[in-house]
């Protein structure tokens, strides 16, 4: 009875394996990948498949598709439904346990050494139960049965110390591995195209910029993509690196169809990162300077996103890569900036200042570059490494974040602190109206504040200076033109907040004074 059951199970599994082998020949191929900066990537796969019994089964490594993003599509509209289940998949390998060695040499004569003075000899006939029909799971059997010259023996497999053979042993064994299989059900068996798309964690890119200062007001800006692939192999595939903030609400868990996969965890083994890929887009003469419009990969806009498109990219799972996306000649303006301290509306209205008099000395001044994006690409936010290349030998200057800059937009990139430009501020109360407002027992006064900003340029060249300050109250007048923007205050404050910027040129060796005034309501008791 045992041998009959075993035969039935074997025939069933062999037929199942033949079906799966047929389906596995037509796996879908990755056609395109869109990589976002939040460690998510969008895969599109397709292929022409030949269903059997109206089914196509996707085997092998299942994608870690995220919830709500896994879709199968039939261009011929013959798809009925998609399901997944666990199945025992047959595989061939080298035997590593005593059970696998004996299984590979079924019906062969063997000598089993069980101890120093005990052995058993015979032809391997069968094994005890190795399959659970309830859970459809294979396990290690407890006994092997040998047919000897005069008797049959059942030997406990765990007691076997060594195995001897009378002839050359077989070194390949058939075993079964339980895997999830995704089954796509069709209305017919006709060969037809099938598409699959999904969002997946584990593939990420980060923009890095290099700005080489070649003259006083021009430089070469290069954008490079740093790529980390822990998702799946990418081979000769069109890959797009996406600029913009995509909204993938609730795509933070696996789709139910593939939720049998373990949670993704990064490996600490440095060996997994042994692969690396270098990719360069430009085929132009390296000595030729780039144009102001920029030279690099093709790009396109879609809604509020921008896609840097690369063709035929190969990026194995576990690899890291650096890829140049564009290079452009950019013009810039040197700007020196300082931010003055401010007293918040909350402090003015909740604390008593007996004498309103502040003085800022030795405020820090920063040297920045004002860049205008005249390229055909938007500049996504990323670290920018700045080097001076005016004399051929590149010297490091700074590294800071270049914020997102749309096409035709401008931005400011901070370089260094400039000790050659000294800025100080003093301000004083010049007039006061008392008890202009009350809140319960609290009295408020209105004062007029006159302030001076002194800028001393110790450099041997003229500079453009931007001075910024948040001012609470009503702005009155200034001897230098100022740009004023009302800021939203979310508290119930008596004073509004103004963002003020003075833009002025300061000649070499000059000391310039900016005088301005404003009124502000302050707590008096």
Over residues 374-412, the pLDDT tens digits come to 999 999 999 999 999 888 789 999 999 999 999 999 999
Q: Per the domain annotation, does 220 fall within a domain?
A: no
Residue 328: strand pairing partners: 221
Q: Report the 10 Å Cβ neighbour count for 332.
A: 21
d(CA 172, CA 514): 88
Q: Are 108 and 169 in contact (CB under 8 A)?
A: yes
d(CA 48, CA 28): 8
490 assigned to some structural domain: yes
Neighbours of 290 (CB within 10 A): 19
Confidence at residue 353, expressed as pLDDT on a 0 to 100 scale: 66
Q: Tell me, what DSSP letter sits at residue 59?
A: -
Measured between alpha carbons, how far is 121 from 223 in angstroms, rounded to an integer? 72
As for how many domains the chain has, the answer is 2
pLDDT, position 157: 92
Q: Where do runs of H (alpha helix) occur along 315-449? A: 345-350
| Sequence-separated (6 or more) residues with CB below 8 Å from residue 333 | 217, 369, 370, 464
Report the distance separating Cα 378 and Cα 200, nearest Å: 25
Half-sphere exposure of 11 (CA within 13 A, CB side): 6
Residue 447's domain comprises 332-373+406-523
**Residue 439, number of CB atoms within 10 A of its CB:** 10
Q: Strand 143-147 relative to strand 152-156: parallel, antiparallel, unpaired?
A: antiparallel
Task: Let me know the angle formed at the C-alpha of 474 by 472 and 479, rounded to the nearest 5 degrees.
Answer: 105
Question: What is the enclosing helix (H) or strand (E) of 87?
Answer: strand 79-93
At which residue do the structure tokens 């931010």 appear? 339
For residue 166 the two structure tokens come to 């009378």
Distance CA 314, CA 276 (A): 10
Cα–Cα distance measured from residue 285 to residue 290, given in angstroms and rounded to the nearest whole number: 10
Low-confidence ranges of the chain (pLDDT < 50): 1-26, 262-286
Q: Which of 151, 166, 181 is the last residue of a domain?
A: 166
DSSP-based three-state secondary structure for 221: strand
d(CA 431, CA 241): 59
In a domain, 364, yes or no: yes
Structural element, H or E, at residue 13 = helix 2-24
Tokens of 260: 């049998």
Domain finish residue from 101, 135, 166: 166
Non-local (6+) Cβ contacts of 469 within 8 A are: 339, 340, 341, 342, 500
Q: Which two tokens stand for residue 442?
A: 């609290």
Residue 443 lies in a domain: yes
C-alpha closest to that of 433 among 479, 385, 474? 474
pLDDT value of residue 61: 65
Residue 174's pLDDT is 87
With 0-12 / 13-18 / 19 or more C-beta atoms within 10 angstroms meaning exposed / middle / buried, residue 87 is buried
Provide the pLDDT for residue 13. 39
What is the C-alpha to C-alpha distance for residues 323 and 315, in angstroms, rounded to an integer? 11
Can you give the pLDDT at residue 330? 95
Q: Would you say residue 120 lies in a domain?
A: yes
d(CA 141, CA 516): 92
| pLDDT for 391 | 80
Which 3-state string (H, E, C) describes 140-200?
CCCEEEEECCCCEEEEEHHHCCEEEECCCCCCCEEEEEEEEEEEEEECCCCCEEEEEEEEE
The torsion of the CA quartet 7, 13, 19, 23, rounded to 10 degrees, works out to: -160
pLDDT computed for residue 88 by the predictor: 79
DSSP string, 364-379: --EEEEEEE--SSS-B
451 closest CA partner among 354, 341, 337: 341
DSSP bridge partners of 501: 468, 483
Distance from C-alpha of 27 to C-alpha of 313, rounded to nearest angstrom = 20
Last residue of a domain, one of 121, 140, 166: 166
């Amino acid at each position: 009875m045992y041998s009959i059951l075993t035969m039935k199970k074997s025939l069933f599994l062999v037929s199942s394996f033949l079906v799966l082998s047929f389906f596995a020949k037509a796996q879908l191929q990755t056609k395109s990948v869109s990589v976002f900066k939040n460690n998510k990537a969008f895969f599109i796969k397709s292929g022409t498949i030949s269903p059997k019994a109206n089914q196509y089964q996707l085997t092998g490594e299942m994608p870690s598709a995220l919830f709500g993003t896994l879709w199968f599509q039939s261009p011929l509209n013959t798809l009925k439904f998609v399901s997944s289940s666990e199945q025992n998949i047959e595989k061939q390998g080298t035997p590593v346990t005593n059970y696998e060695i004996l299984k590979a040499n079924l019906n062969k004569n063997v000598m089993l050494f069980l101890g120093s003075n005990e052995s058993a000899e015979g032809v391997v006939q069968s094994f005890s139960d190795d399959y659970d029909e309830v859970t459809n799971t294979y396990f290690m059997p407890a006994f092997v049965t040998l047919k000897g010259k005069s008797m049959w023996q059942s030997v406990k497999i765990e007691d076997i110390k060594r195995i001897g053979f009378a002839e050359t042993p077989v070194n390949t064994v058939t075993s079964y591995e339980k895997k999830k299989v995704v089954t796509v059900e069709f209305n017919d068996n006709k060969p037809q195209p099938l598409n699959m798309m999904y969002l997946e964690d584990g593939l990420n890119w980060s923009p890095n910029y290099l700005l080489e200062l070649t003259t006083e007001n021009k430089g070469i800006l290069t954008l490079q993509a740093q790529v980390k692939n822990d998702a799946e192999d990418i081979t000769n595939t069109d890959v797009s690196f996406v600029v913009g903030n995509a909204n993938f609400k609730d795509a933070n868990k696996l789709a139910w169809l593939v939720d049998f996969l373990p949670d993704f965890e990064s490996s600490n083994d440095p060996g997994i990162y042994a692969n690396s890929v270098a990719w360069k887009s430009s085929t132009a003469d390296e000595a030729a300077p780039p144009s102001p419009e920029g030279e690099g990969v093709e790009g396109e806009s879609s809604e509020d996103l921008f896609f840097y498109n690369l063709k035929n990219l190969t990026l194995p799972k576990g690899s890291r890569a650096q890829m140049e996306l564009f290079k452009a000649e950019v013009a810039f303006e040197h700007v020196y900036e300082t931010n003055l301290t401010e007293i918040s509306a909350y402090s003015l209205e909740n604390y008593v200042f007996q004498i309103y008099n502040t003085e800022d000395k030795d405020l820090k001044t920063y040297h920045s570059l004002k860049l205008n994006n005249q390229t055909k690409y938007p500049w996504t936010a990323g670290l920018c490494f700045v080097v001076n290349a005016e004399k051929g030998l590149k010297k490091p200057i700074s590294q800071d974040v270049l914020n997102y800059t749309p096409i035709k937009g401008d931005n400011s990139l901070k370089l260094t602190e400039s000790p050659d430009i000294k800025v100080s501020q003093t301000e004083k109360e010049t007039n006061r109206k008392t008890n202009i407002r009350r809140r319960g027992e609290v009295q408020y006064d209105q004062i007029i504040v006159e302030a001076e900003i002194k800028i001393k340029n110790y450099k041997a060249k003229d500079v453009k200076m931007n001075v910024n300050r948040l001012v609470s109250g009503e702005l009155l007048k200034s001897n230098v033109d100022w740009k004023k923007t009302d800021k939203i205050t979310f508290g119930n404050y008596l004073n509004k907040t103004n963002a003020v910027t003075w833009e002025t040129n300061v000649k070499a060796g000059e000391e310039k004074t900016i005088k301005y005034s404003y009124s502000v309501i302050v707590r008096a008791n």
